[in-house]
Amino acid sequence: MLTIAFKLLSTIPLISGLHTVHDASNILLVSDEPRTLTNSRLDVDSEIVESNTVVYVDRHVSHIEDIALPDQSNEHIQTDITLCIPVEMSRFNKDLFDNKFLPSLQQLSALPREVIIAGSGMDASRASEIKRLVSSFSSAPVYVTSKEEGALAGENRNRCARESRGRVISFFDADDAMHPRRLELLSTVFAARAPIAVIHGWMSAQHEMKGELSNPFTVYNGFDLFQPKARPTEEEQMGMTAPTQQTYTLSKGWVTVYADVFAHVQQNETRHVGEDHQFIRDILRFYGPGDSTLMYIAEPLGWYSHGSLGGRRIPTTSLSPDT
């Protein structure tokens, strides 16, 4: 029954209207005062955030659905997700790649259709070496698309998308670690709700990686994170079926989208920072508001290598609605 549920991902129809790493130096904490909704809710340029790891505070985010976790199985689940990993060799951290990313790839409960390493500043010899290494940790096919010239993360992600054969593309970073059930939850959401894009939370401590996930786990309307709504009235709050969370953590670099999105929206290839934030906003701008445009899984499905506090103070940034 579990295998059948995940095979649904390869049978769901294409959504109508669709054609077919940078490192943050800090963690951004964003707080909002209540704001009035615009008529179109498409003013998605109201906030410029260049960190790809964000904590949003005091935003009213609409609840979409609580989804029960599938029973865990000893057999790997096959998905139609391409796992895309951008790698710029001038910034490549082999220690984190070997000791964080690769073990997490090996421990996934659901297999990607393929793993694509999109490398830049990478010659053919290094590409072959990386392919052999990743293949030793992956039960899924591994491909490396490389270029000798250097490139920014946006260009590498676009190149990975062009090479992808999966119906869904999930981006992750080579110096971070995935929760063992990351692709399993993503596959569940795409099979159940057919969103255009999905984002999720992150964790800062290694010991949390194998922690229990909420069951059921909650899916929210991610559009509300980027275009905050006014806080509900007391009467509206009483009518809600689920309490509203006040804090939302997310990593925008780990976005997962239908592959067809890239026919309309690509990542900026010239920005050194903030290209992932712009990519999500461009998706919101192109597809517009709606429960299926951007969904947010309120679970920490990745360990962010630069998210560990390590004694470092988290700066707090307060953005006004017009910032």
Neighbours of 37 (CB within 10 A): 11
Contact 179, 302 (CB under 8 A): yes
Q: What is the pLDDT of residues 155-164, one digit of tens each?
A: 999 999 999 9
CATH of the domain at 30: 3.90.550.10
Contact 214, 301 (CB under 8 A): no
Residue length of the chain = 323
d(CA 174, CA 91): 10
> How do beta strands 168-171 and 247-251 pair?
unpaired
> Is 4 inside any structural domain?
no
Decide if pLDDT at 192 tops 90.
yes
> Is 1 inside any structural domain?
no
Residue 159 belongs to domain spanning: 25-318
Burial of 144 (0-12, 13-18, 19+ CB in 10 A): buried
Decide if pLDDT at 225 tops 60.
yes
Q: What is the pLDDT of residues 196-218, one digit of tens each?
A: 999 999 887 655 555 678 999 99
Q: What is the pLDDT of residues 32-66, one digit of tens each?
A: 333 333 333 444 444 545 566 677 666 678 889 99
Decide if pLDDT at 221 tops 60.
yes
d(CA 202, CA 210): 13
306 band by pLDDT with thresholds 50, 70 and 90: low
198 forms beta bridges with 256, 295
What average pLDDT does the segment 289-298 reach? 92
The overall average pLDDT reported for the chain is 77
- Predicted confidence at residue 226, as pLDDT, reads 82
The gap from C-alpha 271 to its chain's centroid, in whole angstroms, comes to 19
Decide if pLDDT at 254 tops 90.
yes
> Is 133 inside any structural domain?
yes
Contact 259, 208 (CB under 8 A): no
Which of 15-19, 106-110, 250-254 comes out lowest in average pLDDT? Answer: 15-19
> Is 8 inside any structural domain?
no
> Is 6 inside any structural domain?
no
235 band by pLDDT with thresholds 50, 70 and 90: low
> Is 304 inside any structural domain?
yes
Looking at the structure of the chain, the number of domains it has is 1
> Is 11 inside any structural domain?
no
User: Whose structure tokens read 């929760």?
Assistant: 179
> Is 172 inside any structural domain?
yes
